[in-house]
Amino acid sequence: MVVDKNNYLMDLQSFYQDAINFTKSHYENFPVISYFIKKELKKHIAVIYQFARQADNIADEGYLQEEQRLKLLEKYENSFVNCLNGKAENGFWFALNNTIKEKKLSTLNFLNLLKAFKQDVTKKKYENYNELSDYCKNSANTVGRIMLELYGINNENALKFSDDICTALQLTNFLQDVNIDFEKGRIYIPKDEIKKFGLNETAFEIKKNSSKFQSLMKFEVEKIEKLFLNGRKLLKYLPALTKYQILFTIKGGEEILNKIKKNNYDVLNVRPILHKTDFTKIFFQTIIKGK
């Protein structure tokens, strides 16, 4: 079904409200729609989040076979292309197309994100960090670049620092979900790094937090911390409110890493998540310290 264009002005805000409700109903390591986001951008961020989350669910949730997931992702991509051509299939696609047009967003970033979700279906393991980094370029990094576009920021250095932050967030999520991913046949820790610490895939299966596994996780955490540290250079390119939003996001990722360290790097048996008290603490740290 194609949304009736005659109802565009009448229904558009309700489509955006649906996206906001969808966004608020999903857990993330930091609030997608936070106090620091400009009011006029919240609806746009919500519909972009819905685009990414729905595609992620196709690639990752349920018990579908690979072929079925790929077909559904192809269908999802076709729906995306159709909406860009003025043939939205429902209110969500109508609102997304409006956001892309109104904010002059690059469609390539959205297509690259879908490419990453397809890769999630077909590629379960990574030989080295370069392979994993290339995956992050199409997944998390594209989201960061879309956000910068929303704020009208296109400085090349800012884009690079944004990539560092987004890669760090992606890698943090991989550490957070080590056990969940392994149960789905995925390992996002590079094979050469696992081997470097005298381990193999068996370590993920037996779930023993050995000294070797702790050393591997310590190495991974420190690598991510360096990315977060370098990514903070993005802050000087941002207006005040946006700066706080990005800092809040960085601190959310760093707090996950702190929890991993406090749990003696036992990500095999303890999944670190942020609670309301953590968000409150991070919020006031962001406001008071601003760094």
Residues 10 and 51 in one domain: yes
Q: What is the mean pLDDT of residues 45-58?
A: 95
Torsion region of 25: left, alpha or beta (phi above 0 gives left; psi -120 to 50 gives alpha) = alpha
In a domain, 114, yes or no: yes
Domain range holding 160?
A: 144-291
* Residue 232: per-residue pLDDT: 96
- Please, is 202 exposed, middle or buried when counting C-beta atoms within 10 Å of its C-beta (0-12, 13-18, 19+)? exposed
Are 92 and 209 in the same domain?
A: no
DSSP 125: B
Scanning the structure block, which residue is given the tokens 């047009």?
A: 101
Largest Cα–Cα distance in the chain? 64
pLDDT in tens, 3-33: 556 566 568 999 999 999 998 887 565 555 5
The DSSP code for 187 is B
Two tokens, residue 226: 């360096």
- In the chain, the number of structural domains is 2
The CATH code of the domain that includes 27 is 1.10.600.10
Q: Give the amino acid at 85.
A: N
How many angstroms separate the CA atoms of 256 and 289, rounded? 19
Q: What is the pLDDT of residues 228-253, one digit of tens each?
A: 999 999 999 998 888 988 999 999 99
Q: How far is CA 40 from CA 77, 99, 138, in A?
A: 27, 11, 27
Written as six digits, the tokens of 20 are 């906001």
**Is residue 172 located within the same domain as residue 261?**
yes
Question: Could you give the angle at the alpha carbon of 228 between the alpha carbons of 225 and 229, nearest 5°?
Answer: 85
CA atoms lying within 13 Å on the CB side of residue 196: 15
pLDDT given at position 26:
77
Do residues 155 and 275 both lie within one domain? yes
The C-alpha angle 6, 9, 15, rounded to 5 degrees, equals 105
The verdict on 95 and 189 lying in the same domain is no
One-letter amino acid of 128? N
- pTM of the entire predicted model: 0.90
